[in-house]
Structure 1
Amino acid sequence: MTRFLGEYEVTLDAKGRFLLPSGFKKQLPENELRFVVNRGFEKCLTLYPIQNWEPLHAKISELNDFDPKVRAFRRQFLGGATEVEADTAGRLLLPPTLRDFAGLTKDVILVAAVDKIEIWDSATYKKFFEDFSPDAFSDLAKEVMVKNEGKNE
């Protein structure tokens, strides 16, 4: 499984394409430039390397289709999910419906999110941090890390 680190500013061209930064390319398996892009949980997109997407998709496929919450989750999570592959110039094309969902303009920030990359409109991403105080972050970190302590061992 590929894991990412880093944060990069990129520019969308008129067709909705961006160049995958070399910092992320170096973290991918050699010659693997196939991804699935879908809606994120917040107002962003998520870009999964195909090798990280496949086990997640398999897990979602095993959920009980008779449960209305499962169907609602699948619609939200899988709706718009699209396989994308870098072109010969190394650019990835984001579908217009997904760009609209995330409110992406020309300036975009790509953010490592463990096994995926989040794609944010630059202004939206910066506002997220402006609205989050250091004390609030400290409280959140304590709550999340204490609650999950020992689960990854």
Structure 2
Amino acid sequence: MENCGKKCSNFTTLNRNFLNYPIGEYQCKLDAKGRLMISADFQEQLGDLLDQGFVIRPGLFSKCIELYTMNDWMETQRKLKGLSQFVKTNVDLMRKYNAGARMVKLDGSKRLQVPKQLIDEIGLNKDVVINSLPGYMEIWDKDLYRAQLTQLDQESLEKLLEEKLGGFNL
């Protein structure tokens, strides 16, 4: 039993970013210059992925910014590349999906520069939430995020869980 614990500990130490994205929700601050202060625990979970940079784009379905690790962004691009470029609707999809996407890196103080155009478009204020989803993260204005969470009541959540995940065993 002791060896198993040591192996698991070694695995997570050697592969700090084995999920490609952090788990959880992070409260952050956006300064007047559009720099997002990244919390230490968020940085720790991302590990070496911090050095590879990120891609940000306007949210597809919500008034937020989608934040992708470079690995996850490249995976979405591989999927899009698999679509025929000789089908107009495929090209329309690729164009729309990539519209507004930008590569960003953390600065020396571990801050993420968010373009002013995206800040204005999304309506980000000083208090920001980064929420982790499978495959990417969302950057929300704190008040908009809280309002979004309240739109799905407990009964609707239970129905969705049963409908979408009811056939899976954890």
TM-score category, normalised to shorter length: 0.7 to 0.9
Cα deviation code 1:56-83 (max 9, x no counterpart): 2122123212223222222222111111
2:35 is the alignment partner of 1:17: yes
- Give the SS at the match of 2:71: helix
Q: Which runs of 4+ in 1 moved over 4 A?
A: none
* Aligned residues of 2:25 and 2:132 also touching (Cα < 8 A): yes
- Aligned partner of 1:39 in structure 2 is 58
Tell me which amino acid in the other structure corresponds to 2:40.
S
Q: Equivalents in 1 of 2:92, 2:49: separation in Å?
A: 35
Greater per-residue helix proportion: 2
For normalisation by structure 1, the TM-score amounts to 0.87
Q: Equivalents in 2 of 1:59, 1:107: separation in Å?
A: 34
For normalisation by structure 2, the TM-score amounts to 0.79
Q: Equivalents in 2 of 1:61, 1:101: separation in Å?
A: 28
- Aligned partner of 1:74 in structure 2 is 94
More relative contact order in 1 or in 2 (CA 8 Å, sep 6+)?
Answer: 1
- Output aligned runs, 1:88-127, within 5 Å: 88-127=108-147
* Aligned residues of 1:80 and 1:97 also touching (Cα < 8 A): no
Distance 1:64-1:105 versus aligned 2 partners, 3 A rule:
same
Count matched residues: 149
CA RMSD, aligned part only? 1.9
- Aligned partner of 2:13 in structure 1 is none
Tell me which amino acid in the other structure corresponds to 1:118.
E
Q: Of the two, which has the highest radius of gyration?
A: 2
Structure 1, unmatched stretches of 5+, are: none
Structure 2, unmatched stretches of 5+, are: 1-18
* Aligned residues of 2:54 and 2:67 also touching (Cα < 8 A): yes
Distance 1:66-1:100 versus aligned 2 partners, 3 A rule:
farther
CA-CA distance at 1:31 after TM superposition:
6.3
- Aligned partner of 1:135 in structure 2 is 155
* Aligned residues of 2:49 and 2:69 also touching (Cα < 8 A): no
* Aligned residues of 1:45 and 1:118 also touching (Cα < 8 A): yes
Q: Equivalents in 1 of 2:95, 2:119: separation in Å?
A: 18
Q: Equivalents in 1 of 2:26, 2:49: separation in Å?
A: 21
- Give the SS at the match of 1:32: helix
* Aligned residues of 1:4 and 1:114 also touching (Cα < 8 A): no
Distance 1:97-1:64 versus aligned 2 partners, 3 A rule:
farther
Percent of paired sites with the same residue: 30
Q: Equivalents in 2 of 1:60, 1:15: separation in Å?
A: 34
Q: 2:164 aligns with which of 133, 144, 151?
A: 144
